[in-house]
Structures are given as structure tokens and as C-alpha cells.
Structure 1
Amino acid sequence: MTTTDRPWRLGDEIATVETVVYETIRDRIVRGLEPGTVLALAPIADELGVSTMPVRAALARLKAERLVIQSPRRGSTVAVATRNDLEEIQAVRSGLEGYAARLGVSQIDDEIVERMARVLKRIESKSRKLSTGTHVDAFLSAEYQLHDELFAASGRQELLDLIRVYRRRAERYVRLALRSECQGFATDVDLQKDLFSAAVNRDGARAEHAIRSILQWTIDFCHPLLSE
């Protein structure tokens, strides 16, 4: 395929490369790249087969998400995960997702409940196999799908978009909790069941409480693992 055959303009191509670089670096960070790790422009560019321009742009985006810090002496490094950051993110999510859960419960039908029931079975199955990154991915995907079935019923697209933005910001912390395989993990699964039960019974207040409790679980478990 020649350049003129491509279905995108040059500007679109640059944006696509930048996004791929951004997602690649971000994925490494949220999956446990050590805080303080230096993110040098040239080595990353060489590894990914790109110029330093999209790497620089990607690091700027990651700085805005508090995943990267930049200093004159060290350049870009992986930011430390902190309690304050987690608590702030979860506070915003609690308001957004609690509201979406309450609205969604009032709008769901039996078909949505049936889909949620199938997803809940996957959550229970995946929760027994969290020893590898692949199973963590599968569990997290199932948990988000369960919640999204309920949130989408609210019909509030802007609300759903905001939820996804802050969900991504919390991913680093959620993965930290899931990787640690704590004995209290069963509590998280029980809370997912409680959310489903609230949906079955069309109980908006209980659904909101369940979502808030799920988010608080991540704070409670991660808190002793994080710095201030």
C-alpha cells in the first residue's frame, strides 16, 4: 500500500502513532512498572520503531494523568502511586457510578438482568484464577461489563463517558489490589453479587451502596501498600 492509498491523512497517521505509543507506555505502568523507572525518549522510540515526537507527546499525556512525573534532572519517570491520588479518584467515581447505578436500576429490564447473571458467573469463575495477568484482565473485563450493563440502562451517555475516564485513572490501583490476591478478595466478589441482587430487586439505593462499597474496597486494601 502506498502513502496515497492510505485511508487517512498524514495528521491522522501521526495521531494514531501517538495513541499507540501512549497506550503501550500506559499499559506497562498500570500493570506494575516500578515507580521511579526512567522513561527515556530515545530508548522507547527505538524499541517501538518511532521518532521521539510521539513518545514525548505520550509522556505529556501520562503526566496529565499523574502516571508520569517530569523533572529537569531525571526527565520522565514513573510516578509513585499514592493514597491521596487513589482516594480522590475513588471519591469522584463514587459520585458518578453511584448515581449511574441508581438511575440504571430504575430502567433495566429482564434481558439486562439475564446478561448480568451470565457476567456474574464469569466473575465468580475468574476470581478463583487471579494468579496470572491474563486472568486479572479477564476478571476486570467481566467486572466492568457487569457494571456497564447497569450504567448503560440509565441512558446518560455523558455520564458513561465520565465514568470511563475515571475508571481508567483508577486502573493502576485496581490492578494492584487484584495482583495481590488478598484473603479479603472474596469480599469484592460478594459485593458484585449484592449489586446484582439490587438489580434483580430494582433497588436503586442498594445498588448505589453496593457500587460505593466496591470502590471503597479498593481503597481499604491498597491503603497500606501506598505512600501518602
Structure 2
Amino acid sequence: MAELHDIPKPEGKPTIAGQTEAKLRHDILHGTLAPGTKLNLDKLRETMGVGLSPLREAVTRLVSDGLLEVAAQRGYSVTPVSVANLDEVGALRIELEPYALRQAIANGGLEWETAVMGALYRLNKTDRIAGNSDSLAQWEAANEAFHYTLIARCDMPLLLKMYRSLVSLSGRYRHIYLKTATVQRDVQAEHTAIAQAAVERRADEAAALLSQHIRNSTSNLRRLIVADLPAQPPHATSETAPQDDI
């Protein structure tokens, strides 16, 4: 059965469309292109120095990932952020990732166990300093690598594709709202508990811990989003005002 060498690795030199997609993806995920921003393809083409064809290919990929929206007669725009969207992304992750982890625990061998603990060690040794963009980027990369390594041996390409899309969407919220916020919970302890339960083949416990970890992250981001929303007008009712169920 396949082992971790089957995890997709970067291929050769990226195409112009691939480079353009990567740049736009970075700017969307990090808030440089703010949620709701309309994209002028002609101006983007000039600014980025690319042809219209690779640019259209790049934005089409980002639409499929949910980072851009397209509407007839209105063109492309950066997908808005919202409590409802974050809740949906979190709910889908809670459904998919614990299932993928169970499959990885069943399929993975010693190489997978070693990779999980190696990814955990790297993540726990990576500082996340509020307001420091370099440390935040390094921590995000280590965090994504850890979570992907946990479920990589599920051996389900379609599930992993959906997972990557959901991680991109949830990652955008972290990049935007955690730039200056201080995380109040012990994330390192959460990651360690998940990894140890996984490699020790305690599948039920590992899945439950991962679900709670995603729930904690979503709840914390939800509070930040609600706090950042415009104040509701005096006539707003409890049915229309944003609610925080945490």
C-alpha cells in the first residue's frame, strides 16, 4: 500500500497561470486583496505583467476554490467573509477531517507515525508572535503541514482535494483576524494530544480531539469576526443581530 511518498510534491517550474494564481491566492489569503474587492482583469493584467489567458485561468481556479466569486455582468470579486461562511467551513471540516484521520490511522505505518511526530515537533518549535508577519507565516505553514500529515494516509484523493479547499478558506480568516490577536488557549497541547492519540492508534479519541480542536479554532475566530462587524441599528432584533453561540 502507498506510503507518504505518495503525497503530491511540487512539480517542475510553475506555469505563468500557476504563478499568477499563487500571487493572487497569497494576496487574498493575507487580506492584501480585501474581502469583497472587485477585480479589474485589465488592470491586473498590466500590474502583474501577464496575458489575459493565464490570468483568466488563474482566477477560474480561485473561483473553484471559493476564494473568488463571479457574477454575470459584474465580473470577479474576492469572496466576502462572514460568520455564516466560517461556520459552514468549520462544520465541513469537523465532518471530513476526523473521518480522514480514522482512515489514516487504519492505513498508516511506521513512516506515517514518524512523519506525524516530525511535523508536530516542527510545529511546536515554531513561534507564533502576534503582529509579526514572518513568524505568523512560518507558524501557518507548519500548522498546515501538521494537519495535512495527520490525514495524508487516508488514501482518498477527492477527500484531500476538498480538505485543501476548506483549509484555504479557513486559513484566510486566521490570516485576516489573527494578525494582532493573541491566542488564549493552549494550541500546542491540543496538537500534541491529537498526534499522540493518532500514532498510538486510539482512533476514537484522536477523532474526538481533532473535532474539538477545529471547533475551538472556529469559535475563537467567530468571536473576532462578530466583534469586528458594524454595530447593529437600534431597531435590529435578536433574530437579525449576529449571534455568538460560544
Q: Same fold (TM over 0.5)?
A: yes
- Partner-residue secondary structure (3-state), 2:201: coil
Gaps of 5+ in 2: 1-13, 230-241
Tell me whether 1:39 sits opposite 2:39 in the alignment: yes
Equivalent in the alignment of 2:176: 176
* Partner in structure 2 of residue 160 of structure 1: 160
Which shifted more, 173-182 or 203-212?
173-182
Deviations 1:90-117 (A, max 9, x none): 2222221110112222344444333322
Residue 19 (structure 1) aligns with: 18
**1:221 alignment counterpart:** 220
| Contact 1:21/1:58 (<8 A) preserved | yes
Moved more, 193-202 or 71-80: 71-80
How far apart, CA to CA, are the structure 2 residues paired with 1:48 and 1:137?
23
SS in 2 for 1:117: helix
Q: Is the 8 Å Cα contact of residues 18 and 58 (structure 2) preserved in structure 1?
A: yes
- 2:84 alignment partner in structure 1: 84
- Per-residue CA deviation, residues 150-193 of structure 1 (Å, 9 max, x unaligned), is 31233333332332232223221232354244232x43222111
For 1:106-125, list aligned pairs within 5 A.
106-125=106-125
Distance 1:103 1:75, change over 3 A: closer
Q: Is the 8 A contact 2:119 2:149 kept in 1?
A: no
Go from structure 1 to structure 2 and tell me whether the alpha carbon gap of 1:79 and 1:145 turns closer, same or farther (over 3 Å shift). Answer: closer
Task: For 1:53-92, list aligned pairs within 5 A.
Answer: 53-70=53-70, 75-92=75-92
Q: How far did 1:31 drift?
A: 0.6
Query: CA deviation digits over 1:192-222, x for unaligned, max 9?
Result: 1110121243110111112212221231111
Structure 1 match to 2:198: 199
Q: Note closer, same or farther for the CA distance 1:216–1:127 as it changes in structure 2 (3 Å cut).
A: farther
Secondary structure, aligned partner of 1:77: strand
**Cα drift, residue 49 of structure 1:** 0.9
Partner AA of 1:210 in structure 2:
L
Whether the aligned pair in 2 keeps the contact of 1:105 and 1:207 (CA below 8 Å) is: no
Q: Is the 8 A contact 1:38 1:75 kept in 2?
A: yes
Aligned residues between the structures: 214
Q: Which residue does 1:11 correspond to in 2?
A: none
Q: TM-score, normalised by structure 2?
A: 0.73
Higher helix share: 1
C-alpha contact (below 8 Å) 1:177/1:218 kept by paired residues: no
Instruction: Give yes or no for contact 1:173–1:218 (8 Å, CA) kept in 2.
Output: no
C-alpha RMSD of the superposition = 2.9
Structure 1 129/61 Cα, relative in aligned 2: closer, same or farther at 3 Å? same
Structure 2 residue 207 is the aligned partner of structure 1 residue 208: yes
Q: How many Å separate the matches in 2 of 1:188 and 1:175?
A: 16
SS in structure 1 of the partner of residue 217 of structure 2 = helix
Amino acid of the structure 2 residue aligned with 1:48: M
Deviations 1:50-106 (A, max 9, x none): 233433443344344443345678754333211111221222222211101122223
User: Measured at CA, do residues 208 and 124 of structure 1 come closer, stay the same or move farther in structure 2, by a change above 3 Å?
Assistant: same
Distance 1:117 1:181, change over 3 A: farther
Report which stretch shifted further, 127-136 or 144-153.
Answer: 127-136
The 8 Å contact of residues 35 and 79 in structure 2, kept in 1 or not, is answered as yes
Look up the equivalent residue of 1:207 and give its one-letter code. A
TM (normalized to structure 1)?
Answer: 0.78
